[in-house]
Amino acid sequence: MRVLGIETSCDETGLAIYDSELGLLAHALFSQIDMHIPYGGVVPELASRDHVRKLLPLTKQVMAEADSKAEDIDAICYTSGPGLIGALMVGASTAQALALAWDKPCLGVHHMEGHLLAPMLEKTPPEFPFVALLVSGGHTQLIDVQGIGQYEMLGESIDDAAGEAFDKAAKMMGLPYPGGPHIARFAERGTPGRYLFPRPMTNRPGLDFSFSGLKTFTLNTVEAAKKANSDELTDEARADIALAFQDAVVDTLVIKCKRALKQTGRKKLVIAGGVSANKDLREKLEAIMTGMGGQVYYPRNEFCTDNGAMIAYAGCQRLMAGHQNDRQIKVQPRWPLTDLPPLASSAKQ
């Protein structure tokens, strides 16, 4: 089966063509980051309008790169949620219009299932079952994965997601949006131990996350550093705070992952989502998995952020199992991952 995948949940326009026998044939991605930087975050209306401008040109691009015509495409899938409602509507309406024009089946895909299955695009994909850490700008979740659609939520953030915490902490430090890459770069120059940040909710049982207190701690630390230097934050202090903040977030994620693995008895860990590209997080998770006799899996960096390839792959798996939608244009800005129906054949005990 050959599937055209469309991703427009937030500020990236992603297109891809995935073939169930040949693998990923083509993918293209346009990031709106430069457009949103002046506002310090994503402006939903601007995001929606830019998806309108970019979708058809990128569709033509991937069709050409995959040497595919309309008759070669067996189905179309798109991100149906969660995400920004306007951005989702652009992708959904385009996908349904193409499906109607080409007389093809169409399927709405869960954005986070796309992230969860993104490592399946790699040469050595994980086999079920495994524990997944989905960590992005909008979600921080630990999930026990038995198979596609067989998800048990182990823990999630009760306030801001880790990616949001990175963005807000970066803004406090005077760093641009998006915050994660900028904090990581400054952290490389930081002095270990100058600041010690708390590891929230690690001193109590459970697998939920909370980063709101860490943001407050960061703000107080930044203000104290400014006060000590004539109301200016030096690059040295900025680097030291960035390192302390990053260490606190990464250590918190690692501690909770280790707990989840012990609780479930799993030996495989998948990490996905934008924050999964963080080098320090990957290194620490690899170290604990080696110590536990297990293995960690993650997608290549270009598939950590939102992309069409993960939607095409996830959609293809469900389409081959007979799932498809009617011609109704429907999106779900809020959509629990655990609401998805299972594909029983995907589970391996």
Rounded alpha-carbon distances, angstroms, from residue 247 to 38, 163, 209, 221, 255: 28, 14, 15, 15, 12
- Torsion over CA of 218, 176, 164 and 42, rounded to 10 degrees? 150
Helices first, then strands: H and E counts in the chain: 10, 10
- In which residue are the tokens 């997080």 written? 281
Q: Phi then psi for 331, rounded to 5 degrees?
A: -130, 160
Instruction: Kindly state the helix (H) or strand (E) to which residue 280 belongs, with its residue range.
Output: helix 279-291
| Vertex 125: Cα angle to 138 and 256 (nearest 5) | 45
Taking only Cα atoms into account, the Rg of the chain, rounded to an integer number of angstroms, comes to 21
Q: Is 138 assigned a ligand-binding role in the annotation?
A: yes
Q: Is 134 assigned a ligand-binding role in the annotation?
A: yes
Q: Is 136 assigned a ligand-binding role in the annotation?
A: yes
Q: Is 323 assigned a ligand-binding role in the annotation?
A: no
| Vertex 113: Cα angle to 304 and 249 (nearest 5) | 50
* Token representation of residue 318: 């469900």
Cα separation of 93 and 165, whole Å? 32
Q: Is 182 assigned a ligand-binding role in the annotation?
A: no
The alpha-helical segments, DSSP class H, found in 233-278 are 235-264
Rounded alpha-carbon distances, angstroms, from residue 52 to 12, 16, 224, 298, 317: 12, 17, 45, 31, 27
Q: Is 180 assigned a ligand-binding role in the annotation?
A: yes
Query: Is residue 297 a contact partner of residue 126, using CB atoms and an 8 Å limit?
Result: yes
Q: Is 274 assigned a ligand-binding role in the annotation?
A: no
Cα separation of 294 and 272, whole Å? 17
Q: Is 117 assigned a ligand-binding role in the annotation?
A: no
Query: Is residue 200 a contact partner of residue 209, using CB atoms and an 8 Å limit?
Result: yes
Instruction: Kindly state the helix (H) or strand (E) to which residue 149 belongs, with its residue range.
Output: none
Q: Is 27 assigned a ligand-binding role in the annotation?
A: no
Rounded alpha-carbon distances, angstroms, from residue 46 to 51, 230, 340: 9, 38, 30
Task: Summarize the annotated binding site for substrate as residue ranges.
Answer: 134-138, 167, 180, 278
Task: Summarize the annotated binding site for Fe cation as residue ranges.
Answer: 111, 115, 306
Task: Summarize the annotated binding site as residue ranges.
Answer: 111, 115, 134-138, 167, 180, 278, 306
